[in-house]
A and B are shown apart, each in its own frame.
Chain A
Amino acid sequence: EPEVTQTPSHQVTQMGQEVILRCVPISNHLYFYWYRQILGQKVEFLVSFYNNEISEKSEIFDDQFSVERPDGSNFTLKIRSTKLEDSAMYFCASRADANYEQYFGPGTRLTVT
């Protein structure tokens, strides 16, 4: 069964450093998302991406964040200068065109020290 994959599973970085989180969405999906979940809190939407551009973003997704689809399979989230409060689990999700069911990857645990 096709699934969303994410790398790395765990990333530790120092405050102020740049990180790139990587995702490989399900191959025939066209819509891509990033969500995050701070420990013990709800899953929060960050950004959605379709046709090589951002279609929606939340207030969390400020200038420190960017997304890119550098090739036909990868979808990345970059945080330019990480802060302690960026520590969270980051989930990538994708969906097909026909319905709104989003399928999530296993997540990347980002720890900022």
Chain B
Amino acid sequence: EDQVTQSPEALRLQEGESSSLNCSYTVSGLRGLFWYRQDPGKGPEFLFTLYSAGEEKEKERLKATLTKKESFLHITAPKPEDSATYLCAVRKGTASKLTFGTGTRLQVTL
């Protein structure tokens, strides 16, 4: 059965304290891994798509990487405004639907 697992469930960082969020997947025929940010009571906001192992994408303080088994979202020198839940999702085969993990709830404090 396809699975998307995110860890940790929650992470508390001080401002400037870099860290990584993990998304591990067991999906046959991966056709894309997606990272989203979700603020409380809001819809997921698209961040990155990764398609093949070794690929990396960056946006401001965020950098996403992909291997054959997992993806990491690295957060460098986070700020309080980076506080949110970060979701990863996968697409497989010819389907276009996304299968989401449960997310990592990130809190960045001063």
Contact = CB atoms under 8 A, between A and B. Distances in A.
Interface of A: 4, 31, 33, 35, 41-45, 48, 55-56, 58, 89, 91, 93, 95, 99-107, 109
Interface in B87-110: 87, 89, 91, 95-103
B46 A48 contact: no
Interface of B: 31-32, 34, 36, 41-46, 49, 87, 89, 91, 95-103
Given A45-B99, A89-B41, 12 more contacts: A41-B102, A42-B100, A42-B102, A48-B97, A55-B96, A91-B43, A91-B44, A100-B32, A100-B49, A104-B43, A104-B46, A107-B42
B44 A104 contact: yes
A101 B49 contact: yes
A42 B89 CA distance: 10
B42 A106 contact: yes
8 contacts: A33-B97, A42-B101, A42-B103, A43-B100, A99-B49, A103-B46, A104-B36, A109-B41
Contacts of A58: 97
A35 B106 CA distance: 23
A42 B46 CA distance: 16
A95 B49 contact: no
B43 A100 contact: no
